[in-house]
């Protein structure tokens, strides 16, 4: 898909918003604190900036949200804030990889995390422990296909091919090129093309494997003419090896997915 003037303008505005958001030490501190512990409330974040008013912290969070660096989930009267590093990952892959790291890695990259489909979030989803989000120029059905079909996942999900019937209660597997199981799990719920909830058990690292399966969901919906893709993890301990591993890997996967859907090609860093 060739880029249009509108798409270039949209990308430029998104990049400008990210640089604006990062050009302030208080906002960078808020992102650091969310990286330390995701899902904090406004009151908890205010405690990290004791000399600033609550209104001032809210303004900083608004700027971060406008740049998609922070997403939120309401739970009762509380609002939980989540670090969304996907926009930074996309800038990294657009500029740093192309200009300074041409031979870095063949690992996959994918593009983003979607906000939860509202009615399902309120009915069935717990407050997430981690959340990633991106906006893609594609249809929800195209996003769903890229998430659930092995011919697509092999191009952005670290070279792994997903296999499943996607029927609740049925198994799923992510397979390496040699056929070995990289990760497996079970389908909890599937509502195409809006939500796919599953367990995900890493098998590539014995330490990760010992921690057991993670509970996660892919959520796809539409927002302002774009498709929003969100990845959420639930009950993932902040000090766990999985939390650290997923916080590094999922933004890369989500960024790669976005690039694949919008251009038909994997990220340069994902090429073999």
Which residues have CB under 8 Å from 262's CB, separation 6+?
A: 1, 7, 111, 136, 137, 138
The sheet with strand 195-202 has its strands ordered as: 130-136, 226-234, 214-223, 195-202, 181-191, 171-175, 161-164
Query: In this structure, what DSSP letter does residue 2 have?
Result: P
Does the pLDDT of residue 115 top 50, yes or no? no
Q: What percent of the chain has pLDDT over 70?
A: 82
3.30.530.20, 3.30.470.10, 3.40.50.12280, 3.40.50.720: CATH of 103-272: 3.30.530.20
Domain boundaries, the chain: 1-83, 103-272
Q: Which residues pair with 231 in a beta bridge?
A: 132, 218
* pLDDT (tens digit per residue) in 137-169: 999 999 999 999 999 999 999 999 999 999 999
> What is the pLDDT, as a whole number, of residue 266?
84
Q: What is the mean pLDDT of residues 247-251?
A: 88
Average pLDDT score over the chain: 84
Domain 1-83: state its class.
mainly alpha
> pLDDT tens-digit profile of 55-93?
999 999 999 999 999 999 998 888 999 999 888 888 776
Encode pLDDT of 163-175 as tens digits: 999 999 999 999 9
Please give the average per-residue pLDDT across 242-258, as a whole number.
90
Note the pLDDT of residue 117: 38
Three-class secondary structure of residue 266 per DSSP = coil
Q: Check the CA dihedral 186-192-197-200 and report its sign.
A: positive
CA angle 155, 160, 161 (to 5 degrees): 85
What pTM, to 2 d.p., does this model score?
Answer: 0.70
Instruction: For residue 198, list its beta bridge partners.
Output: 187, 216
What are the tens digits of pLDDT across the range 8-66? 566 678 888 899 999 999 999 999 999 999 999 999 999 999 999 999 999 999 999 99
How far apart CA 223 and CA 139 sit, in angstroms, is 11
Residue that is written with structure tokens 């399902």 in the block: 120
């Amino acid at each position: 898909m060739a880029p249009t003037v509108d798409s270039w303008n949209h990308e430029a505005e998104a990049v400008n918003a990210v640089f604006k958001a990062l050009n302030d030490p208080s906002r960078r501190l808020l992102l650091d604190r969310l990286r330390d512990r995701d899902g904090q409330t406004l009151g908890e974040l205010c405690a990290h900036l004791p000399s600033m008013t609550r209104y001032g912290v809210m303004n900083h969070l608004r700027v971060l949200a406008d740049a998609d660096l922070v997403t939120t989930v309401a739970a009762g009267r509380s609002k939980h804030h989540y670090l969304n590093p996907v926009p930074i990952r996309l800038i990294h892959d657009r500029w740093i990889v192309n200009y300074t790291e041409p031979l870095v890695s063949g690992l996959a990259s994918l593009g983003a995390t979607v906000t939860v489909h509202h009615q399902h979030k309120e009915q069935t989803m717990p407050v997430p422990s981690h959340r990633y989000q991106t906006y893609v120029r594609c249809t929800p059905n195209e996003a769903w296909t890229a998430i659930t079909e092995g011919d697509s996942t092999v191009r952005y999900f670290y070279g792994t091919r997903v296999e499943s019937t996607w029927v609740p209660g049925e198994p799923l597997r992510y397979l390496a090129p040699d056929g070995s199981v990289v990760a497996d799990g079970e389908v909890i719920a599937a509502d195409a093309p809006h939500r796919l909830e599953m367990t995900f058990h890493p098998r590539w690292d014995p330490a990760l494997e010992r921690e057991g399966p993670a509970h996660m969901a892919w959520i796809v919906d539409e927002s302002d003419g774009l498709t929003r893709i969100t990845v959420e993890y639930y009950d993932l301990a902040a000090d766990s090896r999985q939390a650290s591993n997923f916080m590094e890997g999922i933004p890369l996967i989500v960024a790669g997915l976005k690039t694949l859907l919008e251009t038909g090609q994997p990220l340069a860093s994902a090429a073999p």
